[in-house]
Amino acid sequence: MLIDWPTVIFQIINFLILIALLKRFLYGPITGAMDKREQQVAARLAEAAKTEKIANERAAELAKEQENFARSREEMLSQAREEVEIWKNNALKHLQAEFDEKRAVWQSGLLAEQTHFLQKLKRIINRQVFLIAQKALTDLADDDLEARLIENFIAKISRKDQGIAALLSASAGQITCITGFPLSMPQKEKLEMALAPFVEQGGNISFAVDRDLGFGLRLYSEDQKWEWNVNRYLLELESEIETAARALSGVSHGQ
């Protein structure tokens, strides 16, 4: 078989020209476009990676902020609960103090009223006891009891009891004897005999009756006075009862 070398050479030249044309007008632009596309993809991937990194960082920041917010929220709630508890305790203490103060004022007023009422009642009872005892002794007084009073008084003069002795030593020419009941003549004579040594010569011993004196006897001489009667003892008894009642009231208040 014969080879047509001119044709072969021409075909080779055509092929080389075709390759050159393809490289110049087809392969070059395609590879350039591919490189450019690859660069764009790489740039986009880098941008995406950068964006992802920024997003991750932002997500981490948001997570941290959320955690801080949750912690801050819990702290605020805890502080709010503490403040509410403190306010509630203070309000309860204030109300309790106000209630205690009003109760103390009320109890003080009630106690004062009770004390006043009891003191008034005690005074009434003491007075009634005094009046009843006075009336009973007055009603029971008879001639024998009056005679014993005179004898007892004469015995005091003989003993020069304190009070009588001072009065009799200061007496001059006048002694007045007052009784709460009328004296019989023998009783007056006995008293005159007992008082005569203490009256100057020419002096006078007079007698008088004072019903308000009750069962008792009173002596006057100049500016001196001596007295004994049941009312005196009853008044002392009344005073002692009132003193004891006040002492008992003080003890009950202290309790």
Looking at residue 98, its pLDDT comes to 87
Looking at residue 250, its pLDDT comes to 57
Q: What is the mean pLDDT of residues 52-76?
A: 85
Chain segment 106-125, per-residue pLDDT in tens:
888 887 887 777 677 666 76
Looking at residue 168, its pLDDT comes to 67
Higher pLDDT, 166 or 106: 106
| CA distances to 2, 3, 26, 30 from 15, in Å | 22, 18, 15, 20
Of 73-77, 119-123, 219-223, 250-254, give the range with the top mean pLDDT. Answer: 73-77
The answer to whether the CB of 130 falls within 8 A of the CB of 214 is: no
Mean pLDDT of the chain: 77
Q: What is the mean pLDDT of residues 85-114?
A: 85
Q: Which of 208, 228, 207, 230 is nearest to 139 (CA)?
A: 230
pTM of the model: 0.39
Looking at residue 186, its pLDDT comes to 86
Looking at residue 149, its pLDDT comes to 78
Read off the amino acid at residue 105: V
Looking at residue 206, its pLDDT comes to 87
Looking at residue 123, its pLDDT comes to 67
Chain segment 177-205, per-residue pLDDT in tens:
888 888 888 888 888 888 877 777 667 88
Pairing of strands 174-179, 216-221: antiparallel
Looking at residue 16, its pLDDT comes to 83
Q: Which CATH architecture describes the domain 143-228? A: 2-Layer Sandwich (3.30)
> Would you list the domain boundaries of the chain?
65-140, 143-228
pLDDT band for position 127 (cuts 50, 70, 90): low
pLDDT band for position 153 (cuts 50, 70, 90): confident
Q: Which of 189, 223, 222, 225 is nearest to 207 (CA)?
A: 189
Chain segment 215-245, per-residue pLDDT in tens:
778 887 777 777 777 666 666 666 666 676 6
Proportion of the chain above pLDDT 90, given as a percent: 0
